[in-house]
Structures are given as C-alpha cells and as structure tokens.
Structure 1
C-alpha cells in the first residue's frame, strides 16, 4: 500500500531560477540562494586568500576606518599652491598613461589645459608639445591625494576644493565643476570652454575661497560634506550623476558668506547663478570626500578591500588595500545608456574618470535605489535601480549607516568592495557614468551604466594570494 507524497513545507533553491519558479508555481514557499561558481581560474588563489589569518581583522579595520572619516570643506586654492604643480605638469584621471595611448577626451582636455596655461596659443598646437614630451609630464590625480571627474585634467592655475578629516588632518582635493556638455573634462577645448575656465580662476575660485574660509573660521565650523551626503541620499541624490540636492545645500551654506564678502555684487550674482544652475557642482565635493574615506583604508596587510576604481578612457584600474600602490588594469568598457541629440554608441569613448570613487565608497551606482529618478539620465528602470543596490551588498564587506536608503527600510549603502566576493560570485561593481565623445573636442555625448573589465579582479586576487603566501612563509 503506497503512502501519499506529502508536499514539503518549504524548499531552498540554489543557483538557476528555473527550479525555484517551478516549485513556486505549485504554491510551495521557496527560498532562493543566488549561488554562482567563482570566476574561472580563481579557485586556488581564493583558497589561499580566504585562509589568510589576517584577512578578517584587516578587512574589519579597513571598513571601520572608512566609516569613521568625516570630510569637511576647509579651503579653495590653485593647484600650484596645494599640490606644488609647476608649469608643464598635468594630472589626469585613472591609472598612469602616456600621451601615445591617451583617449580622445583625455587628449582634448590636455590640449585645452596646455592653452589655459599659456604653453600654446592654439590648443591644436599642443599635440606636438605632448608628442615631444620633453617639457610636459602626466601623472594620475590619485597619486597626489586628488580625484578628477572624466578626463580629470588638473593644471597649475586651476582652483581646487580642499577636504580634510579633522581627526587625522588627512586631506584630498578636486577641481571645481564646469557644468555639463562642452566642457574641458569631457575633452572639449573651444574658446568658450577656455573662457569659462579663466572666469572660474579669476572670479569663482577667489569668491569660493573667501566664503569657505569665512565659514570654516566661524562658530559653526567648516562645511560638513559627509553630513551633506547623508542628507542628499534622503533627498533623491545618489551623489554621482545626480547632485541636485547636494549642490543646493552647499549653496545654502556658502551663499551668505559670498554675499557679505564685500566682493563686486555682479561677480557674486554671476557665481551664485553659475553654481545654482549647475546640478553637478557638488559632485566635485562628493568625489574627494569618498577618496578621503577610502585613503584611510590603504596599506592594511591582508585586506582585500578595493580602495580606488578609476578610468583614463583607455584603461580601467583598481587599487586594493593589501597590495599598496599597485594598479590592476584592463580595457575600459563602453557604457550602455542614453545619448544626447544625434549622438550614438559609435560616438562614445570608453569609460573615463575618477568619479567611480563614489561607487568604491558605496554611493553612486551602489546607491541607485535612493535615487530612482537617475534612470531617466543613465537608462534602465526603477526596479533595476532597486535591484542594483541589493546586488551590490553581495560583493561588499558591510554597509554605511550614515548613508541609508529610505526605500530599502533605511538600510545602509553597500560599502567596501571585496575582491574575494567579486571573484566568488562573478558580480561586478555597477557604475553610472557620463559618456565623453571619442574624438577630442566633442564634449559629452550621453550617460549610462558600466562595469569594470572582469579580469582585473582575478589579477588583484592573484597578487593578494602571493602576498598572503609570502606573509605565511615569513
């Protein structure tokens, strides 16, 4: 006599969703586990790194250091004063690169920068200057405690924000934001681009310097950029491609000091109008705030946490806490997104800029759930934005309680990209980004979503394994 088969109370499904969907269709509760095989060829290195007795404590220290940093705005001044840049020295976004391999937008920004500094009269004449290379030098922003959006070019006369962690005195820097469209950071160098940059150096920079210093030295103390980020994430920004709330809150803090500075009223009005109409102005504070936090986690032996993701338009590179200043690079990818006007995929350059430091710190693409309106700028859908933030929790060491996502019950943003988790799951960090035209001088052509080249994470894992083996042998 046969016994009737009893339906299970619940089922756990691992991997492919087909089985889970079939069971759910029969009204049986299913718990799905999104298991994936590790990236090919990483098994041995994963075993070595995961067995490293230093790893757990090192990663806990790295994450704690990041979460403890407070970024405050303490000054605005020219790069020549802050970084010691001299005529002919240029900084750029991403890992190191020479002119010969530079992308169109990076070349365009360097050409415009050369004209801005008076090295050439016509930006087109700068090509020969950089080809010769004897009187100019290129170096990554990251090597100078700085970050630069898109091409990221910094020249000696450009004014920069200075952010400081009051507990440690550590500082980071970033140039002032030019706005969108035909701007230097997207590789444009037309006369109006250079005119705007000269105005920023002659008028905007000094006005901001006076206001920032006045607020810094007041009873209220310096502008708390970390605190503004906390509030903007509650107001619909994700602080990479949407900075509307952050820009307006910065204006709230600085405008009274600008108005009462005694500066020419027309200049003050022009500066306020420029910042207020540039929704991306706060990005250039969010980026160094994120770098300030992540730099605190550098050089912790055994830590597998990513401390920088950056692109120069040719290469995409990452740096990891436990491997020092080494860059692990692969080819920059084309973003998938929305285009301006008649531009299309053939017009776009591969991904470029230091702004992925926001995702590295847990905002930007990692916080898309807090800014569903961002999908109208970079593509995708609102459910995609929610799913992205949830998915990024699978490759991070923890979450940031300061930066929470209201729609996800105020869960903290996923923070601390872990090389081992990326290699174990195959899930790549999600970045939302602007797109520059591939031809020098074009400017912005769109915005979209992109991920790093997969191979850079196994490369970093191999270096971590080698370091772990050496530490054990020693």
Structure 2
C-alpha cells in the first residue's frame, strides 16, 4: 500500500464528480464516470435486476421476441365498424380507452368527456346529464384498448359504431390489430370534446368516410405500412407527433384507388379533402402498425422486452413480453414542452394516450434524429433530437434495419426496449407527446417530451424475478 501511494495516482471515479475534482486539485489524474445506482437507488429493483442478469434463458427469450418483432409485416387490409371487429363491443355497453385500466372516478377530464361523447354518439343517452347517469349507475363499462389488440391516441375512445383500421401481420398467422380514425385537430373527441359538431363529425366518419376507405382498400388491396413509415423517416417525420410526409405518402396510394371505386365524386372529394387537411391522419395507422409489430413479440416466457407503453391521463403503464397481460403502473411523469399562448403547466392533464406504442416500437421519440423540425413543436434543438435517438441505444435489445436515421449515417432506430437495461442504466424511454388541457373539450394546449416512470420497470422486473428466478 505504501508503494501504491508513493506513485502518481490515476483514479477512475464512479459517483459524485466532486470526488474526481478534488483528486485533480491534489495533482492526481481522475476520470469521472457518469454513473448512478441502478433502479434510481431502489434496493428491491437492484436485487431484481441482479436476479435477471446473465440468464441464458432470458437472453434466448429476448432474441426470440426481437426476431418476431423484426419479422412483422403489418398490412392495412380493411375498415370495419368496431362492433364487428371486436364483438364484445356489441354484446354490452362497453367503451375502450387509452392506457392501463382506470375507474371512472379516477379518470382525467378529457377521458371522462370523451366517454360521455361516445355515449351520445351511440345514442345511449340524449344529453350529457343522462350519459353521466348511465355511467354512475354502472350501465357502461370501460376497458383499455390494449385488452382488445386496439390502440387510440389521447383519450383513445372506441365504441361499437366507430370505424376501425384493420391491420394484419402475415408473419404472425395474420393476427389482427385495430386503431380508430384520426379526427384532425381542434375540438375533437380524443381531447374530450363532445359537442354536437363533434358527434356529427364522428357520424360522418363512421359512414361516408369509412365507406370510402373500405371501397378504396377493395381496389388497392392490402397496403404495406412499414415502407411508408420508413420513407417518412427519411422525409422529416418521426411518425408520432409529425406525420406530414407519411400522410402524403398514404394519399399517393389512396387517391388512385379511390378514383377507381364507384363512390360518388362528391363523397370522394369530401374524403380526400378531410385527409389532406389533417397532417396527423397517418398517426393512427402508424400506431396500428407498431401495435402489430409488438403483438408478434408478446408472450415469450422470460422475455424482458417491453411490448406496451400507454398512458390514461393519470398513470403510465407498461407490459413485458414475459409477463403477458399484466400491467405495471406508476403516476405519469410531467411533460417538458412548449405551450400554446395563454396556457401553462397548471392547465395540463397528465400524459395521455396509447400513442407511446410508437416509441415502444422504436420510432416517435426514438427516431427524433430523423425529424429535426419536431423540436419547433416539442422544444429543444436539433442536436437534442439527435442525442435523444442515440441515448435510446443504451436501453434496447438492438436496432430495426427497416427504420433508419439519415442524421446518424442511416443507423437503424434503437428498438426492443429491455426493462433490465432501463433499470440498470437509469435511462428512461423518451416519448414525444401532445399536451391535453385537463378540462374536457378544451383540446391540445402544447406538445413536448416526457419519459416513462422508472417504477414501472422496477415493478415489472421484480414480478418476473419472483415468478421465475427466486
């Protein structure tokens, strides 16, 4: 030891940077590592992580889940009314919502407002007072969209008479997933609006627009969604908060097929006009494609790959491939973003929607490097966007070569979130998100960046370790 201290010290410092600074001031060399305890210092989380590291069974399971995700080829094949696609919606007064399960009394304002709007749309009640009375009497029940292989942005409401996109994955026995149609911006159901104008738009979407889209698909045949998403990433989208290019690419396939249908010209004009006025139109298809890819990776025993991330305006929930349909929840983290004039943090609802399925699949916030313009909407700089995409490589099982990022020398997007790596590195998945007003119907008041809460991943690992490795 005396010989050691007679030499010039070169120290590798893990922890507080001030320790390294003091060594340098004393004449030594020190390298400061950016390190922090796993699981944010949670002891049980660290122990669960230790149980799940260096387990050949888990490595093989993750490889299997990742291969299934990569092999998925989501195809848009049909448009159906929700009650036909999901029979449970026709068998009872059931309404689906975004995020993990939540009771009526715990829901945020936008979700409650959207549910009341859906009740009016279904004509189960004649006014909002009657609609709320139905809910309070227990005549209407609620479940997450994910329980029926469906996704919806923001409030994510799906009821029996709403039209759904139907997406199949031929690489997974043609398993189907669903998403509702995007209403556009402004006063819309997904932000809790439920006025007469909102209901009238939903009725038009469920009849004329749905008929036009169904007839279009009969002419075009199945539409591959991954190539549209891949090309859009090269054109400035990240296919979550920015879908301008993807919607344009979709239109190139929609319009020629629509013109070949027997739909009246006026109906075609209205449909095309509605889509061209809504740069977010492709979002719901992007979500369905991502859900399809991740559904293929579900239910692989022992896998720590995350297959669902979703928010209900109160809690954030995740599901792992290896833990099946079990939700792991924690309060949603705040959104760090830009607010529209006149609004601020005090006006905002907690993070909301199923659209984090895009980040779960490796796009959205994970692909911000491809969309430098998004920072004007969510805040930050183009360099921040690139750094966000790079940082996600630390918590994923690999990359998706179908989705590449020009700004990173066409590197594949980081994909396959590994809950172990999230807990080990204390790096949380980044999510691009819109910000909803906490009151129903006010609408979107901003956009920004948030992260998934650490506790979800800690609880998920603890559950998996308890089941299989303790």
Normalising to structure 2: TM-score of the pair? 0.92
RMSD: 2.4
**Partner of 2:445: helix, strand, or coil?**
strand
Aligned to 2:156: 152
SS in 1 for 2:95: strand
Cα offset for 1:30? 11
Q: Distance in 2 between matches of 1:422 and 1:7?
A: 37
Provide closer, same or farther for how the CA distance between residues 32 and 173 of structure 1 changes in structure 2, counting only shifts above 3 A: farther
The one-character-per-residue Cα deviations of 1:414-472 (angstroms, maximum 9, x if unpaired) are 101111111111111111111111112222221111112221111111011112226xx
Match runs of 1:15-54 below 5 Å: 34-39=34-39, 40-41=42-43, 42-54=45-57
Structure 2 residue aligned with 1:141: 145
Given that 1:286 and 1:358 are in contact with CA atoms closer than 8 Å, whether structure 2 keeps it comes out as yes
Q: Aligned partners of 1:261, 1:59: CA distance in 2, in Å?
A: 45
User: What's the offset of the Cα at 1:97?
Assistant: 1.2
**Structure 1 unpaired stretches of 5+:** 1-5, 217-221
SS state of the match for residue 56, structure 2?
Answer: coil
Does the 8 Å contact 1:298/1:324 carry over to 2?
yes
- TM-aligned CA deviation for residue 199 of structure 1: 1.1
Alpha carbons of structure 1 residues 464 and 272: separation in structure 2 relative to 1, 3 Å = same
Check whether the contact 2:219–2:258 (CA below 8 A) recurs between aligned residues. no
- SS of the equivalent of 1:442 reads coil
How do 1:97-116 residues align onto structure 2 when only pairs under 5 Å count?
Answer: 97-116=102-121
Give 1:37 shift. 2.1
Partner of 1:75: 78
Give the deviation of 1:117 after TM superposition.
0.3
Displacement of 1:125 after TM fit?
A: 3.0
1:129 aligns with 2:154: no
TM-aligned CA deviation for residue 92 of structure 1: 0.6
Q: Write out aligned runs for 1:126-275 (5 A).
A: 126-133=131-138, 135-167=139-171, 168-216=173-221, 222-275=222-275
> CA, structure 1 residues 199+51, in 2 after alignment: closer, same or farther (shift >3 Å)?
same
Question: Per the alignment, do residues 251 and 329 of structure 1 end up closer, same or farther by CA in structure 2, a change over 3 Å counting?
Answer: same
Deviation at 1:333, TM superposition (A): 2.6
**1:311-460 counterparts in 2 under 5 A?**
311-460=311-460
Q: Structure 1 residues 424, 270: closer, same or farther in 2, change over 3 A?
A: same
Q: CA separation of 1:415/1:12 partners in 2, compared to 1, >3 Å: closer, same or farther?
A: farther
- In structure 1, the residue matched to 2:59 is 56
Question: How has the CA–CA distance of structure 1 residues 16 and 364 changed in structure 2, closer, same or farther, with 3 Å as cutoff?
Answer: farther
Is the 1:54–1:301 contact (alpha carbons within 8 Å) kept by the matching residues of 2? no
What's the secondary structure of 1:438's corresponding residue? Answer: coil
Please name the residue that 1:66 is paired with: 69
Cα separation, 1, equivalents of 2:49 and 2:393: 19
Q: CA deviation at 1:269?
A: 0.9
In the aligned structure 1, how far is the partner of 2:368 from the partner of 2:12? 29
- Bigger shift: 83-92 or 30-39? 30-39
